[in-house]
C-alpha cells in the first residue's frame, strides 16, 4: 500500500459506507411514509368501500320491498322498507371528500322517501305513483353508482399515489446504492492496481522457496523496488535481502562442496577400515579354524591310516575267500578322501594346498551319489542327481567332493522327520559363460532370514552338535580356487545352494543343461 494510499482507501471506504447508510436512512423514511399511506388507505377508504358495497345491497333490498308492495298489493311497515338503508346511511354520509356525491344521493333518496310516503298515504291511488317511483328509484340508483365510482376513483388515486411514491423512493435508494457500488468498484480497481506488485513479490518469493535463489530472482525483486510507497520500500528491502542471500548461498555452496568432498573421503576411509576390520576378523576366525582343524586332523590321521590298512587286509582276505566286496570300495574311497583332507588341513594354519585338476564332474557326482544314496534311502528322501552332458571343471577333486558332501548332508538334515509328502534333493548343472553352475536344491524347511545373514560366518551354527565350520570352509575352498558359493531360501518351502566352478578352457563354449537320473 502507498503512504498516501491509506488515506485514500479509508476515504473511499467511509464514503461508500456513508452512501450505503444514507440509502438505508432514505429508504426507511420513504417507506415509512408509504406505510402510513397504506395504513390510511386500509383504515379509512377500504372500510368505506365495504360500506358502499353494503349500501348497494341495502338499496337492492329497498327496491325489492317496493316491488313487493305493487306486486302483492299489500302494505309492509313503513319502517321495514327503509330500515336496512337507514342503518347504512350514517357511514356513507361521513365521507367528507365525497360530499357532492353524498349530497346528491341524499337528495335522491329523500325524494324517493317522500314518494313512498305518498303511496302509503293514498294507497287506493297507488298505481298513479308507480311511474314516478320508478324514475326516482333510477335517479337514486344512479346517484349511488356515481358515489361508488367516486369512491373507487379515490381509492385508485390513493393507490397510484402510493405506487408512485414507492417507485420514486426505490429509484432514489437505487441511485444512492449505485453511487456506493461505483465507489466500491473504483476502490476495488484501485486496490488491484496498487496490490499487483505484491502479488508479483509473492510469486517470486514462492519460486525462490521452491527452486532456490537465482540471479533472475534478484533482478525481479529489483524491478519491483521502484516508487516511494510501501510496496516500493518492500521491493527494495526484498532485493537487498535477495542479493545478500545470493552471496551467502554461494559461500555456503562452496563450503558444502568442501564438506561433501571431505565426507566422501571420510566415508571411503571408513568403508576401507570396515572392510579391513571384517577381513581381519574373518582371517582370525579362519586362522583359529585352521589351527583347530590341524589339531583335529593330527588326532584323526593315525586312526584313519590304521583303518585304511585294516580295510586293505579285510579286502584281501575276502577276495582270497571268493567273497564279493562291493560295499568296501565306497568305504575305502571315503577313508582315502578323509586321509587326504586331514593331510591338507594339517597345513590350514598356513594355507590350504590344492591341486587343480581336470575334474570329470559327471563321474564325480556319480561317486558322491553312490556314497550318499544309502543314507538318503534310509531317510526316505529322493536324490535326483545330474550325471550326463556336464563339462569338466578346473578344481581340486577332493575339495569339490568335500563341498558336495557337506551340501548333501545339510540338505538331508533340512527335512523334518515328521513331515509328510514327497521329499527330494535335486542336483542340476549348466554352463554360464566361463563357469559351471551346480545347483543343490531341496524342499525342506528352508532357512530363516536372520540365520541366512550369518550362514557363511565361521563358528556360527544352529545345530546342537555343529561346529559352524562346514559352509565357511566350503566358501574358502571354492573362492581360493576361483569359484564361489551362494544360496537362496524361502522359509517353509526349501533352499537352493549355487556353486560356481571355473571351466576347463576346452569346455567354455557349447555346453547346455544336463539330464537327470533318479537314485
Mean pLDDT of 482-511: 80
SS3 274: helix
Beta bridge partners of 388: 515
Q: Which grid coordinates belong to 415?
A: 527335512
Residue 95 CB neighbours (<10 A): 19
Q: Do residues 61 and 84 touch, judged by C-beta distance below 8 A?
A: yes
DSSP state of 503: B
Mean pLDDT of 122-147: 80
Distance CA 201, CA 224 (A): 8
pLDDT category at 3 given cuts 50, 70, 90 is very low
pLDDT at 303 over 50: yes
pLDDT category at 496 given cuts 50, 70, 90 is very high
Tell me the C-alpha to C-alpha distance, in Å, between residue 208 and each of 149, 235, 404.
Answer: 84, 15, 65
**Closest to 291 (Cα-Cα) out of 45, 459, 429:** 459
pLDDT category at 298 given cuts 50, 70, 90 is low
Angle at alpha carbon of residue 58, lines to 56 and 59, rounded to 5°: 65
Q: Is 477 exposed, middle or buried (0-12, 13-18, 19+ CB in 10 A)?
A: buried
Distance CA 227, CA 2 (A): 9
Q: Is 250 exposed, middle or buried (0-12, 13-18, 19+ CB in 10 A)?
A: exposed
Q: Do residues 501 and 483 touch, judged by C-beta distance below 8 A?
A: yes
pLDDT at 326 over 80: no
Q: Do residues 403 and 473 touch, judged by C-beta distance below 8 A?
A: no
Q: What is the pTM of this model?
A: 0.39
Q: For the chain, how are helix, strand and coil distributed in percent, rounded to 5?
A: 70, 10, 20
Question: Which residue, chain included where needed, has cell 353508482?
Answer: 145
Domains of the chain listed by start with CATH number:
5-195 (1.20.120), 354-518 (3.30.565.10)
More confident residue, 32 or 446: 446
* Range with lowest mean pLDDT among 257-271, 277-291, 377-391: 277-291
Tell me the C-alpha to C-alpha distance, in Å, between residue 58 and each of 54, 75, 86, 261.
Answer: 6, 19, 9, 118
More confident residue, 46 or 133: 133
Amino acid at each position: 500500500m502507498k503512504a498516501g494510499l491509506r488515506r485514500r482507501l479509508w476515504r473511499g471506504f467511509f464514503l461508500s459506507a456513508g452512501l450505503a447508510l444514507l440509502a438505508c436512512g432514505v429508504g426507511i423514511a420513504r417507506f415509512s411514509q408509504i406505510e402510513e399511506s397504506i395504513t390510511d388507505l386500509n383504515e379509512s377508504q377500504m372500510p368505506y368501500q365495504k360500506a358502499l358495497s353494503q349500501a348497494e345491497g341495502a338499496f337492492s333490498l329497498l327496491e325489492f320491498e317496493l316491488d313487493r308492495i305493487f306486486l302483492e298489493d299489500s302494505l309492509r311497515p313503513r319502517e321495514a322498507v327503509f330500515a336496512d338503508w337507514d342503518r347504512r346511511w350514517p357511514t356513507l354520509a361521513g365521507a367528507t371528500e365525497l360530499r357532492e356525491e353524498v349530497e346528491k344521493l341524499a337528495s335522491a333518496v329523500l325524494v324517493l322517501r317522500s314518494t313512498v310516503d305518498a303511496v302509503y298515504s293514498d294507497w287506493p291511488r297507488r298505481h298513479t305513483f308507480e311511474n314516478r317511483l320508478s324514475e326516482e328509484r333510477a335517479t337514486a340508483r344512479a346517484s349511488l353508482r356515481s358515489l361508488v365510482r367516486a369512491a373507487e376513483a379515490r381509492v385508485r388515486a390513493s393507490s397510484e399515489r402510493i405506487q408512485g411514491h414507492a417507485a420514486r423512493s426505490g429509484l432514489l435508494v437505487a441511485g444512492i446504492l449505485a453511487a456506493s457500488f461505483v465507489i466500491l468498484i473504483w476502490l476495488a480497481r484501485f486496490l488491484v492496481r496498487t496490490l499487483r506488485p505484491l502479488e508479483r513479490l509473492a510469486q517470486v518469493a514462492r519460486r525462490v522457496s521452491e527452486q532456490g535463489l537465482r540471479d533472475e530472482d534478484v533482478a525481479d525483486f529489483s524491478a519491483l523496488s521502484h516508487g516511494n510507497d510501501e510496496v516500493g520500500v518492500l521491493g527494495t528491502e526484498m532485493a537487498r535481502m535477495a542479493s545478500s542471500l545470493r552471496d551467502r548461498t554461494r559461500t555456503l555452496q562452496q563450503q558444502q562442496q568442501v564438506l561433501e568432498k571431505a565426507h566422501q573421503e571420510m566415508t571411503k576411509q571408513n568403508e576401507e577400515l570396515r572392510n579391513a576390520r571384517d577381513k581381519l576378523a574373518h582371517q582370525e576366525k579362519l586362522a583359529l579354524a585352521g589351527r583347530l582343524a590341524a589339531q583335529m586332523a593330527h588326532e584323526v590321521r593315525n586312526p584313519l591310516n590304521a583303518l585304511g590298512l585294516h580295510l586293505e587286509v579285510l579286502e584281501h582276505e575276502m577276495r582270497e575267500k571268493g567273497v564279493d566286496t562291493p560295499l568296501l570300495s565306497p568305504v575305502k574311497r571315503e577313508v582315502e578322501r578323509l586321509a587326504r583332507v586331514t593331510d591338507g588341513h594339517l597345513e590350514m594354519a598356513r594355507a590350504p594346498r590344492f591341486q587343480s585338476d581336470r575334474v570329470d564332474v559327471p563321474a564325480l557326482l556319480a561317486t558322491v551319489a553312490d556314497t550318499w544314496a544309502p543314507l538318503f534311502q534310509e531317510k526316505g528322501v529322493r536324490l535326483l542327481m545330474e550325471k550326463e552332458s556336464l563339462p569338466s571343471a578346473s578344481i581340486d577333486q577332493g575339495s569339490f567332493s568335500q563341498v558336495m558332501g557337506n551340501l548333501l548332508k545339510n540338505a538331508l538334515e533340512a527335512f523334518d522327520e515328521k513331515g509328510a509328502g514327497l521329499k527330494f534333493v535335486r542336483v542340476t548343472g549348466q554352463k554360464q559363460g566361463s563357469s559351471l553352475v551346480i545347483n543343490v536344491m531341496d524342499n525342506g524347511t528352508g532357512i530363516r532370514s536372520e540365520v541366512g545373514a550369518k550362514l557363511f560366518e565361521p563358528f556360527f551354527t544352529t545345530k546342537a552338535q555343529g561346529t559352524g565350520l562346514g559352509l565357511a570352509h566350503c566358501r574358502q575352498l571354492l573362492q581360493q580356487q576361483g569359484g564361489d558359493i551362494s544360496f537362496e531360501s524361502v522359509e517353509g518351502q526349501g533352499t537352493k545352494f549355487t556353486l560356481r566352478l571355473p571351466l576347463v578352457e576346452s569346455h567354455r563354449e557349447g555346453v547346455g543343461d544336463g539330464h537327470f537320473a533318479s537314485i
